[in-house]
């Protein structure tokens, strides 16, 4: 991941509702959540949610798929891993034990492609 993409992803997450949506979708797993349920869960109007979902999608953090008349959203785990990898790529100044707790937290939590 390059700096402009990382800035876009971090900017997308730098809003309370968008961060809440992203965390909800990460928890939901690969099945995702329908847009209407996201709006109810987060407590935002559908048109406002649409804007937040567009921003998260352009940042490469979520995906959408149409299911009949509904749209289901899910976290883009590849995008999430890219962002997390970027953030810790130059970590630790030769002391990997500093980042070891991050590896323990992440181990087993994310679906693999």
Per-residue pLDDT of the chain (113 residues; tens, 9 = 90+): 899 999 999 999 999 999 999 999 999 998 999 999 999 999 999 889 999 999 999 999 999 999 888 899 999 999 998 898 888 777 777 677 777 776 666 655 655 54
Cα angle 8-43-45, degrees, rounded to a multiple of 5: 80
pLDDT of residue 59: 96
Is residue 113 assigned to a domain?
no
Give the domain extent around 28.
3-106
The answer to whether residue 70 sits within a structural domain is yes
| Pair 56, 5: CB distance under 8 Å | no
Say whether 99 sits in a helix, a strand or coil. Answer: coil
Closest by CA position to 60, among listed 76, 81, 38: 76
Alpha helices by DSSP H, 1-113: 3-13, 16-28, 35-42, 46-58, 77-88, 100-106
In this structure, is residue 82 part of a structural domain?
Answer: yes
Q: What is the CATH number of the domain that holds 52?
A: 1.10.10.10
Residue 112 lies in a domain: no
Look at residue 109 in the predicted model and tell me its pLDDT: 60
Domains in the chain, number: 1
At 113 the pLDDT is 46
């Amino acid at each position: 991941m390059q700096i402009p993409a990382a800035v876009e992803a971090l900017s997308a997450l730098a809003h309370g509702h968008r961060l809440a949506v992203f965390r909800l979708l990460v928890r939901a797993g690969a099945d995702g959540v329908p847009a209407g349920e996201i709006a109810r869960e987060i407590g935002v109007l559908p048109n406002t949610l649409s804007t937040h979902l567009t921003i998260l999608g352009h940042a490469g953090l979520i995906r959408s798929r149409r299911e009949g008349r509904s749209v289901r959203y899910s976290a883009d785990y590849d995008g999430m891993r890219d962002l997390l990898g970027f953030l810790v790529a130059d970590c630790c100044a030769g002391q990997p034990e500093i980042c070891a707790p991050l590896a323990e937290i992440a181990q087993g939590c994310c679906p693999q492609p």
